[in-house]
Amino acid sequence: MQSRMGNPAVVIPEAMQALLAFGNIAQKCGLSPKLLELVNLRASQINGCGVCVDGHPRIARRLGETDERLFAVSAWRETPYFSPAERAALALTEAITRVSDRADPVPDEIWDEAARHYDAKSLAALVIAIANINVWNRLNVATRQIAGDWKP
C-alpha cells in the first residue's frame, strides 16, 4: 500500500498551521479532550480514515480512556458506557459527518439534545471539532495516507 502523495497539510505548511489552530479551538473552549477523541474516532470510522482510526485511540488511551469504551464507539447506541452528554455529541458527530445521507442532515432532535448538554460556546466548539476531524479525514482518504505512519 502506498499513499498518492504526502498529506496536503504537510505539503503546504500554511495549511498545517491553519488546521492545527482550528483544531485547538475546541479544547480552548473547555471541551474534554477525551470527548474530543471519541468524536474524532467516530467520525473517522464513518469516513473510513485508517490513519485517524489508528491514531486517535492512541491519544485517547494516553488521556486515560479505556479500551472498553474505545472498542464500543462504533456501537455507542447499544452499549452502556457513554454518558447522555457523550451520546449527544456522538449523535451530532454522526449527523454532521453524514450530511448527504438524509434530507435534513442534522435533525432538530439531534441538535436539541446536544444543546441540552452543551452551552452555546461548547456546542459551537463541538461543531468546529467535528468539522475539523472531517477535514483531516478527507485529506487522508483522498491521498490514501497509510495507517500507522502517524504515531501521535
For residue 151, being part of any structural domain is answered with: no
Cα dihedral sign, 131-17-122-140: positive
For residue 23, the model assigns a pLDDT of 93
What's the domain count of the chain? Answer: 1
Residues constituting the chain: 152
For residue 151, the model assigns a pLDDT of 86
For residue 134, the model assigns a pLDDT of 98
CA distance linking residue 64 with residue 66, whole number of Å: 6
CATH number at residue 25: 1.20.1290.10
For residue 1, the model assigns a pLDDT of 83
Domain that holds residue 48: 11-143
For the chain, which ranges sit under pLDDT 70? none
Any residues with CB less than 8 A from the CB of 31 and at least 6 apart, and which? 122, 125, 126, 129
| Side chain identity at residue 4, one-letter code | R
Specify the DSSP class assigned to residue 12.
S
For residue 127, the model assigns a pLDDT of 98
For residue 8, the model assigns a pLDDT of 96
